């Protein structure tokens, strides 16, 4: 009783899943992805074993179609399952079992699989596909979220709203480059999970995405003096300590050679009311 989009970015560097449902904590069950391997969603009567099995098949070189075929062949409950898979090369496959709750179905295209069950109608899938096709100028995670929001606006799960999730992987994209998780956000229980997911993605971008060159402001002697004085006024021994307590490590150079414009704006806004 869920709708999802599984996709690979056009540049072939990212894979991801966006999903929403009238079900508690859908993000804990449906999505799985590994960079340079692929991504999938397992839903309806979800078989969570599909996640490890499918990724293993993909890692061994199977296409999305072959991986899906293997999953279904080994599962007597296949008619109650719904699955979407995208592989390393952007090949896509989707399955909707005959026992899935109406309306249920899906579509695939180059680098994308969209599917849902217990939906208001086929217009949900159609809206998601249209939003995905129109979103080529968006960052990959934003494009996934836009498609999910379009499905919700078209009626989504006819039972209502409860949870949503967004998972995106890319080599070296994790915190301090330690893993491949670029985005892993979940709204487990909310009357408006997709808007809340969008809010969390904004925070993810602020705290966990490195500043671009355009966002960096060079710290000269005068600005360094200003920042250090601000930190002391806030009760910290130095500006680096303030940065750490506020979790802005991705937005300020460790040697304070530069600071993100947004963080500088925060500093000056706080200072103006202190």
How far the first Cα of the chain sits from its last, in Å, is: 50
pLDDT value at 97 more than 90: yes
Mean per-residue pLDDT for 154-168? 96
| pLDDT, tens digit (0-9, with 9 covering 90-100), for 123-151 | 999 999 999 999 999 999 999 999 999 99
pLDDT of residue 133: 98
The percentage of the chain sitting over the pLDDT mark of 70, rounded to a whole number, equals 100
Measured from the Cβ of residue 131, the count of other Cβ atoms closer than 10 Å reads: 23
Q: Does domain 2-208 have CATH number 3.20.20.80?
A: no
pLDDT value at 176 more than 90: no
Between CA 118 and CA 22 the distance in angstroms is: 10
pLDDT of residue 173: 86
Mean pLDDT, the chain, integer: 96
Mean per-residue pLDDT for 81-85? 98
pTM: 0.92
Cis peptide before 103 (omega within 30 of 0): yes
pLDDT value at 1 more than 80: no
Phi then psi for residue 229, to 5 deg, are -65, -40
Ramachandran bin of 203, using left for φ above 0, alpha for ψ from -120 to 50, beta for the remaining angles: alpha
| pLDDT, tens digit (0-9, with 9 covering 90-100), for 233-249 | 999 999 999 999 999 99
Write down the domain spans for the chain.
2-208, 214-273
Cα atoms found within 13 Å of the Cα of residue 161, Cβ hemisphere only = 19
Between CA 164 and CA 257 the distance in angstroms is: 39
DSSP letters of 17-58? Answer: EEEEESSTTGGGTSEEEETTTEEEEEEES--THHHHHHHHHH
pLDDT value at 178 more than 90: no
What pLDDT band is residue 112 in, cutting at 50, 70 and 90? very high
pLDDT of residue 274: 74
User: Considering only CA atoms, which of 208, 215, 212, 213 is closest in space to residue 263?
Assistant: 215
pLDDT value at 85 more than 80: yes
**What's the chain's Rg over C-alpha atoms?**
21
| pLDDT, tens digit (0-9, with 9 covering 90-100), for 194-222 | 999 999 999 999 999 889 999 999 999 99
Task: Judge whether 148 and 196 are in contact, CB under 8 Å.
Answer: no
Phi then psi for residue 140, to 5 deg, are -50, -50
| pLDDT, tens digit (0-9, with 9 covering 90-100), for 52-70 | 999 999 999 999 999 999 9
């Amino acid at each position: 009783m869920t709708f999802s989009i599984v996709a690979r970015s056009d540049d072939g560097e990212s894979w991801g899943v966006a999903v929403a449902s009238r079900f508690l904590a859908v993000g804990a069950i449906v999505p799985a992805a590994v960079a340079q391997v692929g991504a999938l969603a397992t839903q309806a009567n979800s078989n969570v074993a599909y996640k490890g099995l499918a990724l293993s098949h993909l890692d061994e070189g199977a296409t999305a179609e072959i991986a899906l075929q293997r999953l279904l062949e080994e599962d007597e409950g296949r008619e109650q399952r719904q699955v979407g898979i995208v592989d390393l090369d952007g090949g896509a496959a989707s399955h909707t079992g005959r026992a899935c709750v109406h309306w249920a179905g899906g579509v695939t295209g180059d680098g994308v699989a969209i599917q849902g069950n217990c939906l208001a109608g086929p217009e949900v899938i159609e809206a998601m596909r249209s939003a995905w096709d129109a979103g080529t100028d968006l960052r990959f995670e934003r494009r996934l979220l836009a498609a999910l929001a379009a499905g919700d606006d078209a009626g989504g799960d006819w039972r209502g709203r409860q949870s949503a999730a967004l998972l995106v992987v890319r080599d070296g994209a994790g915190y301090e480059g330690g893993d491949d998780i670029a985005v892993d956000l979940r709204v487990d229980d909310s009357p408006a999970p997709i808007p809340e997911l969008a809010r969390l993605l904004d925070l993810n971008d602020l705290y966990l995405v490195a500043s671009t060159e355009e966002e960096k402001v060079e710290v000269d002697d005068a600005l360094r003096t200003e920042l250090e004085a601000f930190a002391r006024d806030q009760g910290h021994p130095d500006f680096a300590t303030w940065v750490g307590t506020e979790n802005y490590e991705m937005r300020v150079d460790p040697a304070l050679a530069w600071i993100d414009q947004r963080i500088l704006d925060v500093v000056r806004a706080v200072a103006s009311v202190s």
